[in-house]
Amino acid sequence: VPTSKAPTVFPLVQCGSETSDTVTLGVLATGFTPASLTFSYATASGTNLPDSLQYPAVQKDSYYSAVSQIRVKRSDWEQNVSCTVNHPGSGSKTVYIGPTPVPVQRPTLNVLGSSPEDESKGSFSCFAIDFSPEKHEITWLKNGQEITNPISEIKTPAVSRETENGPVFSSASYLNLLSSVPRGPNCSVMLAGEVPQRPSVFLLPPVEQIRNNMVTLTCYVKDFKPKEIEVSWLVDDVAADSKMYAFNTTNLVENNGVYSVYGQLSFSLEQWNSSEAVYSCVVYHESLMDTSRVIMRSTVRRTAENSNTVNLNIDLPQSCKAYCWDLAMETDQDSMGSTALTFIILFLITLLYSIGTTAIKVVMLLKVRASPDTDIM
């Protein structure tokens, strides 16, 4: 029998009501020797928790088991309580006791606006549907910043419904504010236990569409969560005018729990070539609320021209393709005709030359035969 053996440690938590302000926790240590052993508890912040109860160790065969319990505030338990088991023969072990993590499910968001009789005010509704866990916070944003001075805001309690994966919740917020800005606000939902992830933003080289006399700037926003995000454009630090510019944001692409999206700004090629304006892509996201609030990427024509990216457009209109094909065929046919005519003329010249040469030889031969004084070599 070994003189010392470390305990195996199991965390324990009570079964029963989840509405109480306190929770009874426990720790079971088994299979250790010698019998001397102590338990100590602490909050997630490291504050020691007194008043724990430890029962005497019980021996079975050559090894011992011991149990300890403590009553703590539910708020401490929700942040995880640690228990350190000290055994003089083998050192210490620490276990953490807390609620079972609830899977995070992002809500489906629907934002509706209404037009009250008073045109100086705006009313908006945000419906967050089927999210988990229940604890959440709905926030209204204007140009990426939280609205702190609405006329009024009403938030409904969350209601639940059961699904195959457990309960999901729905809630709503109703906002009234002065409509001094033409664009309506955005709605964002933060769930308990969810850590936002800051996006990476890249402004891609411009693509010139010669056929359409247009140029398109593309802003690539990747690897962010939650999925609610806004991509907007500035021209010389002023919001791009919808009468002069076309905006487009693609559908979200999800990969391993994070999201990516493309934002595009299109305008005339003439404007791009004749202006030295600064074009900026501005990204608003929940993860930026406590820092810079936005991420901005900018470009101008002269810097874009110095980039190493070359855009080639080899698409031809169908009419041009047909014309070019016919022209090539006609050129080939003309070339073949000229070549054939040249061969025919050369053939006729050669034939006439051969006939003429033969005729001269025959005439000379006849003259020779007609003259008896001529020797034929």
Q: Which of 139, 163, 191 is the last residue of a domain?
A: 191
Q: Is residue 39 part of a domain?
A: yes
Q: How confident is the model at residue 182 (pLDDT cuts 50, 70, 90)?
A: low
Q: Does residue 226 sit in the same domain as residue 131?
A: no
| Under 8 Å between Cβ of 184 and 111 | yes
Q: How confident is the model at residue 353 (pLDDT cuts 50, 70, 90)?
A: low
CA 56 to chain centre: 57
Q: Tell me which amino acid residue 335 is.
A: S
Q: Does residue 54 sit in the same domain as residue 127?
A: no
pLDDT, tens digit (0-9, with 9 covering 90-100), for 247-256: 889 988 988 7
Q: What is the mean predicted confidence (pLDDT) over 66-84? A: 91
Q: Does residue 299 sit in the same domain as residue 214?
A: yes
Q: Does residue 243 sit in the same domain as residue 268?
A: yes
Q: Does residue 275 sit in the same domain as residue 215?
A: yes
Q: Is residue 290 part of a domain?
A: yes
**Spatial distance between the Cα atoms of 312 and 209, rounded to a whole number of angstroms:** 9
CA 120 to chain centre: 37
Q: Which of 305, 328, 343 is the last residue of a domain?
A: 305
Residue numbers of the domain that contains 271: 200-305
Q: Does residue 62 sit in the same domain as residue 90?
A: yes
**Spatial distance between the Cα atoms of 15 and 29, rounded to a whole number of angstroms:** 20
Q: What is the CATH number of the domain that holds 132?
A: 2.60.40.10
Looking at residue 322, its pLDDT comes to 36
Q: Is residue 296 part of a domain?
A: yes
Q: Which of 97, 121, 149 is the last residue of a domain?
A: 97
Looking at residue 377, its pLDDT comes to 38
Q: What is the mean predicted confidence (pLDDT) over 336-356? A: 59
Cis before 226? omega within 30: yes
Q: What is the mean predicted confidence (pLDDT) over 361-372? A: 54
Q: Does residue 213 sit in the same domain as residue 293?
A: yes
Quick one: which of 74, 132, 140 has its CA closest to 113? 140
Q: Does residue 224 sit in the same domain as residue 166?
A: no
Q: Does residue 184 sit in the same domain as residue 274?
A: no
Q: Is residue 327 part of a domain?
A: no
Buried b (16+ CB within 10 A) or exposed e, 252-277: eeeeeeebbbbbbbbbeeeebeeeeb
Q: Is residue 318 part of a domain?
A: no
pLDDT, tens digit (0-9, with 9 covering 90-100), for 266-288: 999 988 888 888 999 988 887 77
| Under 8 Å between Cβ of 144 and 284 | yes
pLDDT, tens digit (0-9, with 9 covering 90-100), for 112-170: 887 666 667 788 899 999 998 888 888 887 776 778 888 889 999 999 999 888 889 99
Q: Does residue 12 sit in the same domain as residue 32?
A: yes
pLDDT, tens digit (0-9, with 9 covering 90-100), for 290-326: 555 667 778 776 555 554 333 333 333 333 333 333 4
Quick one: which of 98, 79, 89, 94 has its CA closest to 39? 94
Q: What are phi and psi of 149, to 5 degrees?
A: -130, 55
Q: How confident is the model at residue 367 (pLDDT cuts 50, 70, 90)?
A: low
Q: Tell me which amino acid residue 223 is.
A: D
Q: Is residue 373 part of a domain?
A: no
Q: Which residue has the higher pLDDT, 3 or 290?
A: 3
Q: Does residue 146 sit in the same domain as residue 114?
A: yes
| Domain tally, the chain | 3
Q: Tell me which amino acid residue 65 is.
A: S
CB atoms inside a 10 Å sphere around CB 241: 9
Mean pLDDT of the chain: 78
Q: Is residue 25 part of a domain?
A: yes
Q: Does residue 181 sit in the same domain as residue 227?
A: no
